[in-house]
């Protein structure tokens, strides 16, 4: 083949293929769209979208409907194909929701899908007033606790209410046990299903206010993702030789073999704490130190084959077994014992010294006795001589005073006699 003719042949083949494709496209029939698309509320937060089939559809067409949901111009990726002329979906109420549907002939290349037909559900109320940060926990398969915060544009006196519904209830119910603390709303309602069931229907939750200014909000919750078991109770410990046996009570609300447990224990050092997983409500810990004190606590978690929840129960109250001598006690003993012994020895020595003096008085030195005796006599004699001299001097003075008095009084007496004469 001439190399110069190859590009020409390629262009010719492409042209032929394009003509054939265009011919097929021109011959393809576009289906008419569904009509009378509308919606209605089945229950709170649950919509039923309905439509009528297109007209003039060939009997050879395996007619199906393709539907999709768009929230605030964002496709949700929940496209479905169905032969039914309705679709039940959840709604959100706080955002614009568009539903669209079209008709298609499956397994038929001679027709093209119809154009999309759509309708919208517009939100009501002031933007920013809807409740936010809704979270719910299903406690021990008995009651559910839901919490949320008010919208940033909601007034301080907004009184939110919560209603819920799931497949099996004839009508929705209102949660009456609501409270608010530091701006956080909290509502508690009983929620239980038969123990024999293996599937749990989604729960629709509506939070709104009686005022039309407050925008309502809907949420759909899968209860299996919200399960939180109750805290294990009545933890008991027993010890045999070097093994500790641990047992606790099981929850009566969970189906059999739907919980596993974690046992955490340590001997006083939190850094060396160990966690073991068990599927029964008892276990044993071998190889423990008989002279150590061990502390235990237990928590439960749902098994993934029963529930999709990743929530643990709270830890049980700590229980301990065994005795462990406190090192502080040893330290105090080491410090105080020598001090007490030293003080006791000092007191004992002083006491013994005094007792020795009382029982065995010291023998006096005769020289000291003689020295004291003669020394006292000399001192007594000197004192007596001094006393005699003093007494003699005093006596002499008194006699002189008497004589002087006598001499002084005699002339007066003589003069008186002379005068009498």
Residue written as token pair 């919490």: 147
Structure confidence at residue 339 (pLDDT): 87
Residues 204 and 291 in one domain: no
Q: Following CA atoms 19, 25, 27, 29 in sequence, which dihedral angle do they give, to the nearest 10 degrees?
A: 180
The sign of the torsion formed by the CA atoms of 80, 82, 84, 85 equals positive
Residues 51 and 115 in one domain: yes
Give tens-digit pLDDT for 104-142: 988 777 678 999 999 999 999 999 999 999 999 999 999
Structure confidence at residue 387 (pLDDT): 52
**How far is the C-alpha of 105 from the C-alpha of 253, rounded, in Å?**
50
Domain end residue (candidates: 227, 251, 275): 227
Residues 90 and 153 in one domain: no
Q: What residues form DSSP beta bridges with 98? A: 70, 120
In order, the DSSP letters of 175-187 are: --EEEEETTEEEE
What is the count of structural domains for the chain?
A: 4
Please state which of the ranges 281-295, 305-319, 356-370 shows the lowest mean pLDDT.
356-370
Q: Which residue has the higher pLDDT, 386 or 322?
A: 322
Q: Is residue 377 part of a domain?
A: no
Q: Is residue 11 part of a domain?
A: no
Give tens-digit pLDDT for 36-76: 999 999 899 999 999 999 988 877 888 899 999 999 888 88
> Which two structure tokens, joined as six digits, stand for 349?
């020595």
Give me the mean pLDDT over the 284-313 stretch: 91
Structure confidence at residue 112 (pLDDT): 87
Give tens-digit pLDDT for 71-94: 988 888 888 999 999 999 999 888
For residue 208, name the pLDDT band (cuts at 50, 70, 90).
very high
Q: Is residue 283 part of a domain?
A: yes
Q: Is residue 396 part of a domain?
A: no
Please state which of the ranges 69-73, 383-387, 405-409 shows the lowest mean pLDDT.
405-409
Return mean pLDDT, the chain.
80
Residues 23 and 112 in one domain: yes
pTM for the whole structure: 0.67
Q: Is residue 379 part of a domain?
A: no
Q: Is residue 223 part of a domain?
A: yes
Residue 416 clears pLDDT 60, i.e. is over it? no
Give me the mean pLDDT over the 360-377 stretch: 67
Give me the mean pLDDT over the 181-191 stretch: 94
For residue 287, name the pLDDT band (cuts at 50, 70, 90).
confident
Residues 222 and 236 in one domain: no
Q: Is residue 382 part of a domain?
A: no
Residues 221 and 144 in one domain: yes
For residue 29, name the pLDDT band (cuts at 50, 70, 90).
confident
Structure confidence at residue 406 (pLDDT): 43
Angle at 364 between CA 361 and CA 365, to 5 degrees: 150
Residues 252 and 315 in one domain: yes
Give me the mean pLDDT over the 24-31 stretch: 61
Residue 390 clears pLDDT 60, i.e. is over it? no
Hey, is 415 helix, strand or coil? helix
Q: Residue 308 belongs to a domain with what CATH number?
A: 2.60.40.10
Domain end residue (candidates: 121, 142, 157): 121
Q: Is residue 194 part of a domain?
A: yes
Residues 317 and 347 in one domain: no
Residues 175 and 194 in one domain: yes
Sequence-distant (≥ 6) Cβ neighbours of residue 16 within 8 angstroms:
none
Structure confidence at residue 122 (pLDDT): 92
Residues 154 and 202 in one domain: yes
Domain end residue (candidates: 192, 227, 262): 227
Give me the mean pLDDT over the 280-284 stretch: 92
**How far is the C-alpha of 64 from the C-alpha of 53, rounded, in Å?**
10
Residues 166 and 251 in one domain: no
Residues 85 and 148 in one domain: no
Structure confidence at residue 66 (pLDDT): 93
Structure confidence at residue 160 (pLDDT): 94
> Which two structure tokens, joined as six digits, stand for 70?
């768009």
In order, the DSSP letters of 201-257 are: --EEEEEE-SSTTBPPEEEEE-GGGSEEPPPP---EEEEETTEEEEE-PPPSSSPTT
**How far is the C-alpha of 133 from the C-alpha of 148, rounded, in Å?**
5
Domain interval for residue 253: 232-321
């Amino acid at each position: 083949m001439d190399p110069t003719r190859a590009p020409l042949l390629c262009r010719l083949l492409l042209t032929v293929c394009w003509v054939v494709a265009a011919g097929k496209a021109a011959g393809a029939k576009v289906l008419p769209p569904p009509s009378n698309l509308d919606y209605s509320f089945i229950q709170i937060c649950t919509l039923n979208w309905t439509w009528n089939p297109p007209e003039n559809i060939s009997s050879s067409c395996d007619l199906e409907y393709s539907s999709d949901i768009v929230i605030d111009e964002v496709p949700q990726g929940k496209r479905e194909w169905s032969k039914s002329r309705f679709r039940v979906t959840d709604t959100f109420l706080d955002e614009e929701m568009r539903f669209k549907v079209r008709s298609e002939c499956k397994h038929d290349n001679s027709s093209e899908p119809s154009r999309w037909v759509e309708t919208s559900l517009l939100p009501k109320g002031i933007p920013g007033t809807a409740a936010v940060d809704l979270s719910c926990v299903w406690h021990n398969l008995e009651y559910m606790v839901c919490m949320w915060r008010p919208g940033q544009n909601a007034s301080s006196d907004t009184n939110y209410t919560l209603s819920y519904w799931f497949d099996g209830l004839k009508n929705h119910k209102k949660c009456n046990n609501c409270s608010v603390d530091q701006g956080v709303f909290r509502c508690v309602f009983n929620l239980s299903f038969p123990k024999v069931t293996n599937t749990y229907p989604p729960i629709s939750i509506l939070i709104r206010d009686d005022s039309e200014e407050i925008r309502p909000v809907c949420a759909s919750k899968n209860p299996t993702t919200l399960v939180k078991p109750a805290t294990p109770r009545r933890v008991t410990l027993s010890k045999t030789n070097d093994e500790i046996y641990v047992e606790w009570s099981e929850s009566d609300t969970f189906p059999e073999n739907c919980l596993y447990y974690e046992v955490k224990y340590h001997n006083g050092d939190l850094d060396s704490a160990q966690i073991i997983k068990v599927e029964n409500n008892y276990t044993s810990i071998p190889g423990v130190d008989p002279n150590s004190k061990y502390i235990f606590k237990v928590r439960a978690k749902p098994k993934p084959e029963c529930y999709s929840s990743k929530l643990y129960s709270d830890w049980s109250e700590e229980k301990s077994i065994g005795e462990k001598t406190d090192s502080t006690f040893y330290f105090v003993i080491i410090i105080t014992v020598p001090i007490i012994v030293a003080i006791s020895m000092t007191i004992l020595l002083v006491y013994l010294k005094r007792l020795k003096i009382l029982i065995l008085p010291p023998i006096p030195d005769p020289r000291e006795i003689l020295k004291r005796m003669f020394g006292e006599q000399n001192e007594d004699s000197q004192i007596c001589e001094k006393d005699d001299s003093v007494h003699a001097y005093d006596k002499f003075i008194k006699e002189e005073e008497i004589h002087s008095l006598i001499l002084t009084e005699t002339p007066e007496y003589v003069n008186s006699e002379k005068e009498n004469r």
